[in-house]
């Protein structure tokens, strides 16, 4: 495998609106706030920042509705602030990747405003328009935010397509001029010094709406290869596609270096295991650990030599992992560290979503009004219409709403948790007095320092980066354990995924050196290993006299 800088990187994701208000008397996070906190990210050890959209936007979907790709939204600052941010990152050896949202624009984008004018406007074909069929929608395509994916435009007697809100019309990638306008825009940001792109819902760009094909459409890969050729292909950048439709079979199509497409994709198979198959993510079922093992094992093995994995539990669209599959009460610290160990021991590039490193928990607000996300509000209406009760719907929202991860970052115990001077745009999580960065930095046993240590291990041990993956105790219903092998070295990760203690038998005692653990006195000396609630141990197998420490 040809070595790439992003093989050893750890990425920190910033959702700017909720990260840090750097300007006085503002209620939302901004670019100045990001600059103020770069030393914190550096201290954690992450060396890449993925910045969620900061482009000009009416903020219907918090910036995933872009009205001008070439300017910064005033609530986040100015282009000078952005340039300062790039500079400040460079000074600290941190790279920055931008969010690239090119499946759709805002309806306020001048392309769409032009397109609305007339059927023969040159920009009309930048979007996807269809005549009504039998007086109604062209077909049954549904929006991911609930309801039909077609919106009627009375003035021009046609429907336009929107896979997200109707304020986010889908772009027509079959239009060559549109594609080249996008490539020009990408080159503008590359020239500004960004180190790559996270590509929003990129598996949708090859869509074939007439055959109701959303993801993985026939033209998807030709478009990505064309994009590579015209933009990042001649630079050494990191590109990661958000691909809800990725499978172990098709993921190498994106990330096999020979195909010249992307560095890696985000796949979501493991994060959909607590959803009833064939239903919406609001229809929740318990996670079965052996299923999680099966899925992650498949991905680790499938992409070992002809692709690259992204490793993540969290992002701005997912509930907090410690509340979801850990224990956000009595064992919050232990379970957050266990989940971190499990993930950071695998092969791929780890992503840490702001607040994950201090074990921030789900918002779990009582009232619907506190949930700001357009998706939550739409889904609430849709579920009530479908016959679910208010309580059932709110329970699902408390578990799965995207807002769970969007509460303002908890910096300290002060008023507004040190996030802003003014009342934050979104209600803080009530636990900010106990869970915050200041507390984490003061406590040598905090989740923060556990993440810091895991990141440092990845930088030190090649086996963590390049080692092959082998699941052990495959059928065990409570313990997630695996080995990594590289150049004669063996690294082992053993995690008790639950609160109940458990004993396991590992042959080959007295040959183990612990690299990481979430209990002070963990032991793997004996063949019988006893694991306490959520205990997670990472160790090297010592071989022969000289040992095999890296």
The contact set with ligand GLC (CB under 6 A) reads 61, 64, 101, 164, 200-201, 242, 316-317
Looking at the Cβ atoms of 143 and 516, the one nearer to ligand GLC is 143
Looking at the Cβ atoms of 105 and 300, the one nearer to ligand GLC is 105
Tell the smallest beta-carbon distance from residue 431 to ligand GLC (Å): 24
Which residues have a Cβ under 8 Å from the Cβ of 362 and sit 6 or more positions away?
319, 320, 323, 324, 328, 398, 399, 404, 405
Supply 341's token pair: 């160990």
Looking at the Cβ atoms of 262 and 289, the one nearer to ligand GLC is 262
DSSP 77-109: --HHHHHHHHHHHHHTT-EEEEEE--SB--TTS
Query: Active site residue: 75, 242, 334, 535, which one?
Result: 242
Tell the smallest beta-carbon distance from residue 23 to ligand GLC (Å): 24
Looking at the Cβ atoms of 244 and 497, the one nearer to ligand GLC is 244
Looking at the Cβ atoms of 200 and 215, the one nearer to ligand GLC is 200
Run of H or E residues at 239: strand 238-242
Looking at the Cβ atoms of 30 and 317, the one nearer to ligand GLC is 317
Would the CA dihedral through 353, 355, 358, 360 be positive or negative? Answer: negative
Residues 85 and 70: their CA atoms lie apart, in Å, by 16
Residues 482 and 538: their CA atoms lie apart, in Å, by 10
Residues 45 and 38: their CA atoms lie apart, in Å, by 11
- CB–CB of 543/488 below 8 Å? yes
Residues 434 and 158: their CA atoms lie apart, in Å, by 54
Tell the smallest beta-carbon distance from residue 452 to ligand GLC (Å): 27
Residues 79 and 69: their CA atoms lie apart, in Å, by 12
Looking at the Cβ atoms of 23 and 320, the one nearer to ligand GLC is 320
Return the residue nearest ligand GLC (CB atom): 64
Query: Active site residue: 107, 170, 200, 375, which one?
Result: 200
Looking at the Cβ atoms of 64 and 123, the one nearer to ligand GLC is 64
Tell the smallest beta-carbon distance from residue 284 to ligand GLC (Å): 19
The CB density around residue 136, as the number of other CB atoms within 10 Å, is 11
Would the CA dihedral through 401, 404, 408, 409 be positive or negative? Answer: negative
Residues 194 and 158: their CA atoms lie apart, in Å, by 39
- CB–CB of 94/196 below 8 Å? no
Tell the smallest beta-carbon distance from residue 403 to ligand GLC (Å): 11
Would residue 193 be called left, alpha or beta, if left means φ above 0 and alpha means ψ between -120 and 50 degrees?
A: left
DSSP 3-state of 522? coil
Looking at beta carbons, which pairs linking 541-546 to residues 24 or more positions away fall under 8 Å?
A: 541/489, 541/490, 541/491, 541/492, 541/508, 541/511, 541/512, 542/511, 542/512, 542/513, 543/488, 543/489, 543/490, 543/511
The CB density around residue 237, as the number of other CB atoms within 10 Å, is 19
Tell the smallest beta-carbon distance from residue 170 to ligand GLC (Å): 10
Residues 162 and 145: their CA atoms lie apart, in Å, by 10
Tell the smallest beta-carbon distance from residue 351 to ligand GLC (Å): 13
Residues 510 and 531: their CA atoms lie apart, in Å, by 17
Residues 346 and 466: their CA atoms lie apart, in Å, by 9
> Catalytic: 477?
no
Tell the smallest beta-carbon distance from residue 402 to ligand GLC (Å): 7
Tell the smallest beta-carbon distance from residue 523 to ligand GLC (Å): 42
> Catalytic: 107?
no
Eight-class DSSP state of 294: H
Looking at the Cβ atoms of 245 and 257, the one nearer to ligand GLC is 245
Looking at the Cβ atoms of 104 and 398, the one nearer to ligand GLC is 104
DSSP 3-state of 467? coil
Any idea which residues carry the catalytic annotation? 200, 242
């Amino acid at each position: 495998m040809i070595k790439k800088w992003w093989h050893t990187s750890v990425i920190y994701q910033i959702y700017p609106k909720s990260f840090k208000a750097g300007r006085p008397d503002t209620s939302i996070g901004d670019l100045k706030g990001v600059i103020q906190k770069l030393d914190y990210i550096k201290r954690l050890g992450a060396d890449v920042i993925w910045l969620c959209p900061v482009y000009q936007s009416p903020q219907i979907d918090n910036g995933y509705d872009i009205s001008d790709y070439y300017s910064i939204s005033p609530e986040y600052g100015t282009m000078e602030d952005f340039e300062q941010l790039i500079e400040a990152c460079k000074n600290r050896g941190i790279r920055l990747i931008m969010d690239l949202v090119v499946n759709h624009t805002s309806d306020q984008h001048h392309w769409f405003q032009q397109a609305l004018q007339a059927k023969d406007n040159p920009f009309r074909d930048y979007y996807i328009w269809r005549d009504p069929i039998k007086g109604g929608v062209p077909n049954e395509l549904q929006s991911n935010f609930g309801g039909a994916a077609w919106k009627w435009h009375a003035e021009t007697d046609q429907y336009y397509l929107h896979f997200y809100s109707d304020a986010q019309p889908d772009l027509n990638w079959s239009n060559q001029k549109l594609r080249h306008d996008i490539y020009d825009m990408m080159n503008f940001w590359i020239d500004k010094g960004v180190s790559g792109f996270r590509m929003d819902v990129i598996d949708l760009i090859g869509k074939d709406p007439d055959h109701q094909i959303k993801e993985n459409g026939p033209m998807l890969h030709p478009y990505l290869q064309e994009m590579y050729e015209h933009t990042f292909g001649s630079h050494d950048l990191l590109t990661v596609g958000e691909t809800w439709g990725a499978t172990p079979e098709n993921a190498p199509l994106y990330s096999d270096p020979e195909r010249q497409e992307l560095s890696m994709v985000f796949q979501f198979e493991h994060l959909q295991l607590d959803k009833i198959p064939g239903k919406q993510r609001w229809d929740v079922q318990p996670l079965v650990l052996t299923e999680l093992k099966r899925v992650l094992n498949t991905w680790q093995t499938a992409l070992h030599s002809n692709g690259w994995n992204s490793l993540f539990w969290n992002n701005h669209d997912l509930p907090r992992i410690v509340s979801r599959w850990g224990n956000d009460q009595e064992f919050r610290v232990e379970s957050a560290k266990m989940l971190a160990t499990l993930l950071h021991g695998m092969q791929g590039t780890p992503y840490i979503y702001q607040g994950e490193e201090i074990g921030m928990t789900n918002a779990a607000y009582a009232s619907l009004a506190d949930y700001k996300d357009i998706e939550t509000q739409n889904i609430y209406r849709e579920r009530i219409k479908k016959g679910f009760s208010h309580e059932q719907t709110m329970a699902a929202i408390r578990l799965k709403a995207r807002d769970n991860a969007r509460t303002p970052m908890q910096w300290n115990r002060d008023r507004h948790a040190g996030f802003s001077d003014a009342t934050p745009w979104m209600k803080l999580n009530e636990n900010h007095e106990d869970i915050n960065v200041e507390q984490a930095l003061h406590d040598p046993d905090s989740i923060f320092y556990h993440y810091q240590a895991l990141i440092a291990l990845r930088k030190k041990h090649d086996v963590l980066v390049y080692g092959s993956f082998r699941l052990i105790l495959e059928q065990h219903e409570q313990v997630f354990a695996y080995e990594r092998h590289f150049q004669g070295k063996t690294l082992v990760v053993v995690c008790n995924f639950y609160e109940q203690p458990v004993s396991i038998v590992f042959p080959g005692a007295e040959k183990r050196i612990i690299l990481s653990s979430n209990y002070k006195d963990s032991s793997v000396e004996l063949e019988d290993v006893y694991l306490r609630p959520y205990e997670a141990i990472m160790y090297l197998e010592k071989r022969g006299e000289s040992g095999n420490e890296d």
